[in-house]
Amino acid sequence: MPIWLRKTLVAAITVCTFGLVTPPPSLLAAKEPPSDDASSSDWQHRPTSCAAEASSLTRTQFIDQTMEKVVMQSYEKFGRKIAPVIEDEFRTVILPRIEEVIAELAERYPEEELRYLAVSENPSGGQGERIFHLYRVDTGEDLIRFHVRREHPPQDGYWFQFHYHTRDDGFQTHYELGKIYWSKNTPPNWRT
């Protein structure tokens, strides 16, 4: 089965069931490293009608479901090598800040429109920054992009700098969420 079809099926199952049903393992088996190219279709969103068929969510339900997906996408990005090292600090420092941003976004929409907001899949691998994006499933439009980049100040080791961008300024400004220290050694690639 072509990779694009597999990804489309996984996204459709996830969006249509609000993540309550896990796609079959055969669809999740593909492990190719996605590109960070903006024209790459592995993270571009396509409009779907599944959300229109779903019932409305309360803000609390939306935030809870979104945060579950955020955690899954984040740990997929970190991979087996990075996750155990930064997990505690990520959970105590970065995740609460991500939740604040998501709650602020949820306040900007009426509850009946929250069903149209979703978390993207396929965080970037290698040295790419993308963790996940929040987007509208009915239009495919990105609203907020959550990223992490490596920083290596001279003689200071490596840091992971978590930040986000919003569509309000064309995704130009970095809004910092926090930094986590790695070590003096070069960190492995994401998703490894």
Share of the chain above pLDDT 70, in %: 75
pLDDT digits (tens, 9 = 90+) for 145-189: 999 999 999 888 999 999 999 999 999 999 999 999 999 999 999
Contact (Cβ atoms closer than 8 angstroms) between residue 147 and residue 165 = yes
Which of 9-13, 56-60, 142-146 has the largest mean confidence? 142-146
Of residues 15 and 59, which shows the higher confidence score?
59
In whole angstroms, give the CA distance from residue 14 to residue 12: 5
Q: Look up residue 161 and give its two tokens.
A: 């700098």
Nearest to 44 by CA among 163, 127, 137, 148: 137
Q: Which residues contact 5 (CB under 8 A, 6 or more apart)?
A: none
Predicted pLDDT at 41: 43
What confidence tier does 127 reach under pLDDT thresholds 50, 70, 90? very high
pLDDT digits (tens, 9 = 90+) for 43-91: 555 444 444 445 678 999 999 999 999 999 999 999 999 999 999 999 9
CA distance to 62, 68, 136, 151, per residue, from 155 (Å): 43, 37, 42, 12
In whole angstroms, give the CA distance from residue 105 to residue 160: 24
15 three-state secondary structure:
helix
Contact (Cβ atoms closer than 8 angstroms) between residue 82 and residue 131 = no
Q: Is 109 left (phi over 0), alpha (psi -120 to 50) or beta?
A: beta
